[in-house]
């Protein structure tokens, strides 16, 4: 089955907004074997839209439209499609009532053509817009399927996932059972993941496995189709076990929760508080922590000790440690984490110190970073990383690596290549 995505809007062609919708829809459709053969962005011109629809009908079975559902004169998708299919538009009363109520409550002037937003093709299935006003639509002719979605991404995504997706499965996949699972990876590049997973990424009729970058993490997406839940469950389990064989050391979790959210959940469950003392990352770790939902449950505060003087005079790192070992050292990382643990009364403390770049620091090449962890009444350790030469990239990798270390500590996982404070002391 083939699909084409048609995005309508002059703002796209003037470069005012990026077309994030096409990538989102393409990923979802591809995962169930519907191949997107073309995605096109066009202006709000009726003539152009008609021409694009006619062409798309020759090449694809499913036409997905984004944008052009609003109340303005140039929101022409519904009227053009109605004309093209010779099918009248009818008013969806629920949506019309919602639109009237919305404008009443918000003191906004209701656009003259607001009815446009509440129209849907006769015999179509209207798609309710839970985060906006314009109604979407799912319509099947004898030959083609037409899915109309709104332009704003925060309206399009929930409408697609909650309203359109079940209809796609029911009508286009003959009601097969479809299920998706994400395996999350951290610590390798897309190219490495591609190599490690190799043959697993070849998809067949029943199982689709593809990898997607998700910030610094990688999502391995497994989608399975089958006649019943059992079959699908088994297909996913099989794929999962193959993935685990290939990339076990890099798996950080399952589902759509990223590393900070995984750590958040563990901290909340264990009722632990965390703090941090940051040098090269300058607050990025603390900022990420505090942005999490219910941050107050596990976070009280922390310190940014960018300059050496602040490490010593405000945080209280032993001057001798810095003089002997420098700030890019396990010893400095130990001290920073322990002093932060104490000052902020936490159960866990992270420290980040290193050479962010672009220049070297204490003879260490840019990208050399020590991350320290102090666990209250347990242990203090540090791990050395080499990231790269790009300053802001180093900062990001450092923050994510810190979250990963904390995740491993909270799960009692064995962590490779770490140096314990006690060990160093004994060796001295």
Q: Compare residues 226 and 276 and give the one whose CB is closer to a second copy.
A: 276
We find the least distance from the C-beta atom of residue 127 to a second copy, in angstroms, to be: 20
We find the least distance from the C-beta atom of residue 363 to a second copy, in angstroms, to be: 17
What span, in angstroms and rounded, lies between the C-alpha atoms of 133 and 353? 49
Task: Kindly tell me which residue out of 116, 156, 267, 303 binds a second copy, with binding defined by CB under 8 A.
Answer: 303
Q: List binders of a second copy among 211-230 (CB under 8 A).
A: 212-213
Verify binding: residue 28, a second copy, rule CB under 8 A: yes
What span, in angstroms and rounded, lies between the C-alpha atoms of 75 and 156? 16
Question: Please, are residues 386 and 336 in contact by the beta-carbon 8 Å criterion?
Answer: no
Task: Kindly tell me which residue out of 8, 9, 19, 418 binds a second copy, with binding defined by CB under 8 A.
Answer: 19
Six-digit token string for 9: 């809007």
Task: Kindly tell me which residue out of 15, 143, 416, 426 binds a second copy, with binding defined by CB under 8 A.
Answer: 15
What span, in angstroms and rounded, lies between the C-alpha atoms of 132 and 117? 10
Verify binding: residue 73, a second copy, rule CB under 8 A: no
Query: What angle (nearest 5°) sits at the alpha carbon of residue 182, between those of residues 153 and 208?
Result: 90
Q: How far is CA 360 from CA 332, 354, 367, 421, in A?
A: 17, 9, 9, 25
Verify binding: residue 56, a second copy, rule CB under 8 A: no
Verify binding: residue 42, a second copy, rule CB under 8 A: yes
Verify binding: residue 14, a second copy, rule CB under 8 A: yes
What span, in angstroms and rounded, lies between the C-alpha atoms of 52 and 5? 10
Task: Kindly tell me which residue out of 88, 175, 198, 345 binds a second copy, with binding defined by CB under 8 A.
Answer: 345
Six-digit token string for 110: 């209701």
Verify binding: residue 291, a second copy, rule CB under 8 A: yes
- Say if residue 125 is exposed, middle or buried (CB neighbours under 10 Å; 0-12, 13-18, 19+): middle
SS3 133: coil
Verify binding: residue 115, a second copy, rule CB under 8 A: no
Task: Kindly tell me which residue out of 71, 301, 316, 326 binds a second copy, with binding defined by CB under 8 A.
Answer: 301
Q: Compare residues 301 and 326 and give the one whose CB is closer to a second copy.
A: 301
SS3 371: strand
How many residues sit in the footprint of a second copy (CB under 8 A)?
62
Place of tokens 């332009």: 151
What span, in angstroms and rounded, lies between the C-alpha atoms of 364 and 81? 63
Task: Kindly tell me which residue out of 283, 362, 376, 420 binds a second copy, with binding defined by CB under 8 A.
Answer: 283
Question: Please, are residues 32 and 68 in contact by the beta-carbon 8 Å criterion?
Answer: no
Verify binding: residue 310, a second copy, rule CB under 8 A: yes
Task: Kindly tell me which residue out of 37, 97, 113, 324 binds a second copy, with binding defined by CB under 8 A.
Answer: 37
Verify binding: residue 23, a second copy, rule CB under 8 A: yes
Beta strand 62-66 pairing with 145-149: parallel
Task: Kindly tell me which residue out of 139, 250, 344, 397 binds a second copy, with binding defined by CB under 8 A.
Answer: 344
Verify binding: residue 182, a second copy, rule CB under 8 A: no
> What is the x/- site pattern for a second copy, positions 375-394, by CB under 8 A?
----------------xx--
Question: Please, are residues 300 and 373 in contact by the beta-carbon 8 Å criterion?
Answer: no
Q: Please give the backbone phi and psi of residue 121, each rounded to the nearest 5 degrees, phi first.
A: -65, 145
We find the least distance from the C-beta atom of residue 420 to a second copy, in angstroms, to be: 27
We find the least distance from the C-beta atom of residue 221 to a second copy, in angstroms, to be: 10
Contacts of 411 (CB under 8 A, 6+ apart): 266
Verify binding: residue 64, a second copy, rule CB under 8 A: no
Per CB under 8 A, residues contacting a second copy are 12-20, 22-28, 30, 35-43, 48, 210, 212-213, 278, 281-291, 295-296, 299-307, 309-310, 314, 343-345, 391-392, 395
């Amino acid at each position: 089955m083939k699909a084409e995505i048609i995005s309508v809007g002059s703002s796209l062609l003037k470069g005012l907004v990026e077309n994030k919708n096409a990538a989102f829809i393409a990923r979802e459709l591809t995962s169930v074997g519907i191949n997107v053969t073309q995605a096109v962005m066009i202006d709000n011109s009726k003539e152009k839209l008609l021409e694009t629809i006619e062409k798309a009908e020759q090449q694809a079975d499913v036409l997905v439209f984004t944008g052009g559902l609003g109340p303005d004169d140039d929101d022409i998708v519904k009227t053009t499609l109605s004309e093209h299919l010779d099918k009248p538009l009818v008013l969806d009363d629920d949506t019309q009532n919602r639109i009237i109520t919305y404008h009443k409550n918000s003191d906004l002037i209701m656009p003259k053509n607001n009815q446009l937003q509440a129209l849907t093709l006769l015999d179509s299935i209207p798609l309710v817009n839970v985060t906006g006003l314009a109604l979407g639509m799912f319509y099947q002719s004898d030959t083609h399927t037409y899915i109309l979605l709104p332009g704003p991404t925060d309206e399009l995504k929930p409408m697609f996932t909650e309203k359109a997706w079940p209809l796609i499965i029911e009508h286009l996949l003959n009601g097969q059972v479809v299920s998706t699972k994400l395996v999350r990876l951290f610590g390798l590049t897309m190219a490495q993941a591609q190599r490690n997973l190799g043959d697993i990424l070849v998809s067949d009729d029943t199982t689709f496995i593809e990898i997607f970058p998700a910030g610094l993490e990688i999502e391995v997406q497994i989608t399975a189709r089958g006649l019943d839940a059992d079959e699908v469950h088994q297909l996913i389990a099989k794929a999962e076990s193959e993935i685990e064989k290939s990339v076990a050391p890099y798996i950080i979790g399952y589902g759509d929760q990223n590393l900070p959210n995984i750590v958040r959940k563990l901290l909340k469950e264990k009722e632990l508080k965390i703090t941090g003392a940051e040098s090269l990352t300058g607050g990025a770790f603390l900022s990420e922590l505090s942005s999490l939902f219910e941050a107050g449950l596990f976070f009280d505060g922390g310190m940014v000790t960018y300059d050496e003087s602040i490490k010593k005079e405000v945080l209280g790192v032993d001057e001798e440690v810095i003089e002997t070992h420098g700030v890019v050292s396990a010893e400095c990382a130990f001290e920073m984490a322990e002093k932060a643990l104490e000052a902020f009364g936490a159960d866990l403390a992270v420290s980040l110190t290193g050479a962010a770049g672009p220049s070297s620091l204490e003879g260490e090449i840019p990208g050399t970073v020590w991350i320290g962890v102090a666990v209250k009444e347990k242990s203090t350790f540090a791990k050395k990383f080499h990231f790269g030469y790009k300053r802001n990239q180093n900062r990001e990798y450092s923050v994510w690596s810190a979250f990963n270390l904390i995740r491993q500590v909270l799960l009692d996982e064995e962590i490779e290549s770490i140096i314990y404070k006690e060990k160093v002391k004994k060796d001295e």
